[in-house]
Structure 1
Amino acid sequence: MKAPRLFQALKPPLPLPSQQLTLLQLLEFPSSLHDSTIPPHSGGRLLGLFPDSNALKNSSSSNNETAIDFKASSDKVVAVEFDTYHNWDSWDPYYKHIGIDVNSIRSKATAQRNWQNGKIATAHISYNSASKRLTVVAFYPATKAVTLSHDIELNKVLPEWVRVGISASTGAHKQKNTILSWSFTSSLKNNGVQKKEDMYIASVA
């Protein structure tokens, strides 16, 4: 199957055995599924990850806009979102935030975060298979870090092989997002022997 356009920059593809992951440490965003395709009508607030067919119109909107409720996606996706814009939908927090999404644009957990325009931020995303906990730590230099965690069994949510990538989107308003660098580190258990593999994926100036 042709590699999804979201991840064509990753050559060769980097499929990973999700059931063997003991620790993930990434900069600025993980995850999507192996041999996936970009869902139709998934731009804007759907981040290029979730199809518009997941949306159910709900007439009980308090702001005269169509409220949207999202079913779980048929694609298996675990994502960390860095949301800088409130979409005025019931599912979207009214504050700028970090969110952990599991098969849906409706976040399982969120943490408020103040964004500093033009400043360089660092984010660490880690998963510990022993505690079944996904943790995000984000900070600017000389500021207090924002931490968000969510308990999840990745081997029950994701397929055996997954891809790691980055997705971004805008709607009527635009902003510039620059990823200076990101890296991936994993510790895999193989026949009782722990082997550590470091992979440097991309650097963007």
Structure 2
Amino acid sequence: MRHAARPLFLPLLLLPLAGCSFLSGPDQLYAVPISTPGETIPIAFSSVEVRDVTLPTYANYEEIYVEGADGTLQAEDGLLWADDPARAASLELVRALSALTGVIVAGEPWPFDPYPAARVEVRVEEMIASRRGEFRLSGQYFVAALDGSQRDSAHLFAITTPLGEEAGAAEIAAARGSAVAELARQIARGGLS
């Protein structure tokens, strides 16, 4: 009788744990694929520092948010960004600007002596995948000339990348990578040239 009660007792103890994430499976992490531009854009500065990109609150979470047809933002269940979104966006921008311009580009804090010739700061207003078939990236970027040339400037940007209405996390990550690469092109052409 003791042996018969023990098997029933063990499942009853495990029942409250059935809803825990370690029993239901791990979250799926998605990294933004590396996008290397195939063009070169000459710029007016010999080196560029990229400040940490600022993101809206929902875009700074590790959950991947998608805008529904009614405009509400919903986190996709169990789908997470593989890296801190602001850190990842900053590194994506550094990589793309470096590849596009051919000059030394680094994130803050500036790791070299002397100081950079220019500093870029990006403030993102919207960074969202939409079920309406697009990925939107908009906001403002600033270029501070640190080389005495007085070429400071401020620019608005609004980038839309096509995205299937039922796109999954991998497609959203690829669209985000394309949008940040396009932002780097706009900064190189409009702010750094």
Instruction: Tell me the TM-score normalised to structure 1 length.
Output: 0.22
Structure number having the greater strand percentage = 1
Q: TM-score, normalised by structure 2?
A: 0.23
Tell which has more relative contact order, 1 or 2 (C-alpha 8 A, sep 6+): 1
Higher normalized helix content (fraction of residues): 2
